[in-house]
Structure 1
Amino acid sequence: CCVCLDKWVGHQCNCYFISKEEKSWKRSRDFCASQNSSLLQPQSRNELSFMNFSQTFFWIGMHYSEKRNAWLWEDGTVPSKDLLVLKVIRPEHCIVYSPSKSVSAESCENKNRYICKKLP
């Protein structure tokens, strides 16, 4: 039900770009924005079920807002508490996600692969 650009993967009417190169969180976010997309904001635990085999960690669109003293998605919304379980993490960290259901935090300056999701 969706037509995705070359190098993008279609799944359940969404288009995803799964990077092979590594960038910092900010550069990953900027790349996604340049493609009229955003870093992935998983809507459910099963959203990336087609990637369950992957043990790789990818940047997703969550960051810590010191101003609001909370973890937020790029669009400013608060993540669902049951979607991703986050322990107390340092504010200078950003979230990496593995489709095998693991979540971790790393310095936002580290380089990781990333997943963009096309904006509707």
Structure 2
Amino acid sequence: MQAKFSSTRDMLDDDGDTTISLYSRASAATRRSEPGHTEHRTPSPAWRPVGLTLLTLCLVLLIGLAVLGFLFFQFYQLSNTQQDTISQKEERLGNLSRQLQSLQAQNRKLAETLQHVAEKLCRELYNKTGGHRCSPCPEKWKWHGDKCYQFYKESRSWQGCEHFCIAENSTMLKISTQEMLEFAMPQSYSEFFYSYWTGLSRNGSDKAWLWMDGSPYSLELFDIIIDVTIPRSRDCVTILNGKAFSKDCRELRRCACERRAALVKPERVL
């Protein structure tokens, strides 16, 4: 009887342990399911390198931005300095350019004054000696006003004289002013009645007298003597002994040419 009781007690003890064990597990499960009881888990070690990498990248970006800002500030200061330097150089260049223009203008005035003095002195020497090495005309040409004149002894037709003067880099004589008239007419005096062709002509008896450059003849300067008793055409003008005559352009007369004088060289005046 006692042995049976012991066996029963053992079975109860076993059941009790089982019951207590089941109760303990249920209690633990209940505690885990309650909202007030939360577990604090530590972060997984695998995320730490990623966080450090991101932090490092952020630091690198911040440092890069700082460096870029510093470089931009330095470049801005350098740009302003260079701009100021360029402005100063441009201002200096402008001042130098104005000074150069002023010196050039003064130089031109001095050159013009020197040229005027040299020409005036050369004319005095030329008129006194009947010729001087300072003359701006070719050798044996006569200097008058701003032109050079040559009265050749060879006789040619009017057209022949035109071609001859062109070959001498000149044109036929033109008398368009009173001063020129007073110079040219005395050149026409000849004891052998050698007259000189001028550049005055016309295309027919009913046409106007014109100089070679197309300018009209002025009646106020001189008269043209026309011999109406001779039936031949007289459409070209010569000068002889201070008078002007209309002659046949095919007749042989001496050539009178003119050309523009060169500048007087100051060094040849001395």
Q: Which residue of the other structure, out of 239, 242, 261, is the alignment partner of 1:97?
A: 239
Where in structure 1 are there 5+ consecutive unaligned residues? none
Return the letter of the residue paired with 1:115.
A
Asked if structure 1 preserves the Cα contact closer than 8 Å seen for 2:185 and 2:243, the reply is: no
Return the letter of the residue paired with 1:35.
E
Q: Which residue of the other structure, out of 153, 172, 175, is the alignment partner of 1:20?
A: 153
Q: Which residue of the other structure, out of 62, 79, 84, is the alignment partner of 2:217?
A: 79
Give the match's secondary structure for 1:114: strand
1:40-91 per-residue CA deviation (whole Å, 9 max, x = no partner) reads 0113221326637x2331000011134x821100111101111121255775
Identity between Structure 1 and Structure 2 (%): 26
Give the match's secondary structure for 1:31: helix
Q: Which residue of the other structure, out of 196, 207, 212, is the alignment partner of 1:69?
A: 207
Q: Distance in 2 between matches of 1:111 and 1:46?
A: 25
Higher strand share: 1
Structure number with higher relative contact order (C-alpha < 8 Å, ≥ 6 residues apart): 1
Alignment match, 1:115: 256
Give the match's secondary structure for 1:20: strand
Cα distance change on mapping 1:97 and 1:50 into 2, 3 Å: closer
Q: Which residue of the other structure, out of 139, 142, 150, is the alignment partner of 1:6?
A: 139
Give the match's secondary structure for 2:165: helix
Q: Distance in 1 between matches of 2:236 and 2:250?
A: 9
Higher helix share: 2
Alignment match, 2:57: none
Alignment match, 1:39: 172
Return the letter of the residue paired with 1:38.
T
Alignment match, 1:57: 195
Q: Distance in 2 between matches of 1:102 and 1:61?
A: 15
TM-score, length of structure 1 as denominator length: 0.82
**Structure of larger gyration radius:** 2
Asked if structure 2 preserves the Cα contact closer than 8 Å seen for 1:57 and 1:112, the reply is: yes
| Number of residue equivalences | 117
Where in structure 2 are there 5+ consecutive unaligned residues? 1-118, 120-134, 262-270
Q: Distance in 2 between matches of 1:63 and 1:21?
A: 20
